[in-house]
């Protein structure tokens, strides 16, 4: 039976991340003129909020050696932040985000290729279901269009590989308190994302994008809330089980964006044709059930 504490963590994590996707989509589609400049702004606000949090934490007994894991996870995640905002800028949130939740497939393949693990029947069924979901979701494209769609390929790549920094942070949570992971992780992320500043167009427009800070502060505060709730949940039931439960997020997001698109299209506007909604419903459900089944078998 799920405890009230765990239920609260699950609800908080799901609602926080769903809200972040909606706010971020609104910003990059309606407000930002340069998605790379906004990426730097967003991650810098994320870092500032995390550093403020750091001043209220207890760092007694924590050594520099224990901080390298979340720092490396942050460095790696910088690439995922850049990819995330690029995809969200180019595609519908309810189409892009489900592809970002394919990490259980990536982790299973890593176990198979490098750890010589064998597939269980649940994992095979899960991979098959999630793959079928992706095929249905991408049936809007021809095969040629599929392989030429950067957003689709980047989204799938994001989903398959994003489990790497999550796994590193899980290992770090075995040594230090989950609250202390956040500021170090954010520091690695801002250092990594700062590579975008080599672009002249980013440097020229970055100050203009700081005017969006009122939206960004809310988004990044929710991101931190979701991250901390997720890492705390890991300490309660472990990463595999919590990740499996959190796979429901794309379905919650799809439902939310559908309602917003219908009644508040000035915030988010997505295709409301019945055939599109039916395709997304079937596809996202298969992805959620498939990845959830994979995680259950880990």
Sketch the domain layout of the chain as residue ranges.
Answer: 4-297
Closest CA to 103 of 149, 157, 65, 160: 160
Residue 288: what pLDDT?
92
Q: Which residue has the higher pLDDT, 110 or 256?
A: 256
Q: Which residue has the higher pLDDT, 64 or 201?
A: 201
Residue 239: what pLDDT?
63
- Residues 208 and 175: their CA atoms lie apart, in Å, by 41
Residue 191: what pLDDT?
97
Q: What is the pLDDT of residues 84-98, one digit of tens each?
A: 999 999 999 999 999
Residue 272: what pLDDT?
92
Q: Is a pLDDT exceeding 90 seen at residue 143?
A: no
Mean predicted confidence (pLDDT) in 140-165? 82
Residue with tokens 């769609």: 149
The answer to whether residues 93 and 25 touch, using CB atoms and an 8 Å cutoff, is yes
Alpha-carbon dihedral sign for residues 144, 150, 154, 157: positive
Residue 80: what pLDDT?
95
Residue positions counted in the chain: 298
- DSSP code of 133? H
Q: Is a pLDDT exceeding 80 seen at residue 2?
A: no
Q: What is the pLDDT of residues 30-48, one digit of tens each?
A: 999 999 999 999 999 999 9
Grade residue 274 by pLDDT with cuts at 50, 70 and 90: very high
Residue 258: what pLDDT?
96
User: Taking the model in full, what pTM does it have?
Assistant: 0.88
SS (H, E, C) 171-240: HHCCCCCHHHHHHHHHHHHHHHHHHHHHCHHHHHHHHHHHHHHHHHHHHHHHHHHHHHHHHHHHHHHCHH
Mean predicted confidence (pLDDT) in 139-158? 80
Long-range contacts of residues 24-30, Cβ cutoff 8 Å, at least 24 apart: 24/84, 24/85, 24/88, 24/219, 25/88, 25/93, 25/257, 25/268, 26/215, 26/267, 26/268, 27/212, 27/215, 27/216, 27/219, 28/85, 28/88, 28/89, 29/88, 29/89, 29/268, 30/266, 30/267
3-state DSSP assignment of residue 4: helix
Q: What is the pLDDT of residues 177-222, one digit of tens each?
A: 888 999 999 999 999 999 999 999 999 999 899 889 989 999 989 9
Q: Is a pLDDT exceeding 70 seen at residue 147?
A: no
Residue 98: what pLDDT?
93
Residue 52: what pLDDT?
94
Residue 240: what pLDDT?
61
Grade residue 166 by pLDDT with cuts at 50, 70 and 90: confident
- Kindly provide the residue ranges of all beta strands, DSSP E only, lying in the chain, ordered along the sequence: none
Residue 297: what pLDDT?
65
Q: What is the pLDDT of residues 213-263, one digit of tens each?
A: 989 999 989 988 988 888 788 777 766 667 667 789 999 999 999 999 999
Q: What is the pLDDT of residues 5-36, one digit of tens each?
A: 878 888 899 999 999 999 999 999 999 999 99
Q: Which residue has the higher pLDDT, 76 or 246?
A: 76
Q: Is a pLDDT exceeding 80 seen at residue 142?
A: no
Q: What is the pLDDT of residues 46-60, one digit of tens each?
A: 999 999 999 999 998
């Amino acid at each position: 039976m799920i405890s009230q504490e765990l239920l609260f963590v699950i609800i908080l994590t799901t609602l926080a991340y769903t809200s972040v996707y909606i706010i971020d989509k609104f910003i990059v589609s309606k407000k930002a003129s340069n998605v790379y400049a906004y990426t730097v702004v967003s991650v810098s606000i994320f870092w500032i909020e995390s550093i403020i949090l750091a001043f209220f934490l207890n760092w007694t007994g924590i050594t520099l050696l224990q901080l390298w894991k979340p720092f490396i996870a942050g460095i790696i995640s910088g690439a995922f932040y850049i990819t995330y905002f690029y995809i969200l800028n180019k595609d519908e949130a309810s189409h892009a985000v489900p592809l970002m939740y394919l990490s259980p497939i990536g982790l299973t393949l890593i176990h198979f290729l490098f750890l010589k693990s064998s597939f269980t029947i649940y994992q095979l069924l899960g991979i098959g279901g999630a793959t079928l979901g992706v095929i249905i979701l991408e049936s809007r494209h021809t095969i040629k269009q599929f392989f030429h769609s950067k957003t689709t390929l980047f989204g799938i790549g994001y989903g398959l590989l994003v489990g790497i920094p999550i796994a590193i942070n899980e290992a770090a949570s075995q040594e230090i308190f989950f609250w202390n992971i956040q500021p170090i992780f954010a520091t690695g992320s801002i250092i990594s994302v700062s590579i975008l500043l080599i672009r002249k167009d980013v440097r020229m427009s970055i100050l203009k994008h700081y005017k969006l800070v009122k939206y960004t502060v809310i988004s990044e505060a929710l991101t931190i809330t979701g991250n901390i709730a997720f890492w705390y949940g890991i300490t309660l039931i472990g990463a595999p089980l919590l990740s499996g439960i959190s796979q429901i997020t794309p379905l919650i997001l799809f439902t939310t964006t559908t309602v917003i698109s219908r009644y508040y299209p000035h915030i988010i506007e997505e295709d409301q044709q019945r055939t599109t909604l039916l395709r997304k419903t079937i596809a996202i459900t298969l992805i959620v059930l498939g990845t959830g089944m994979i995680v259950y078998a880990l």
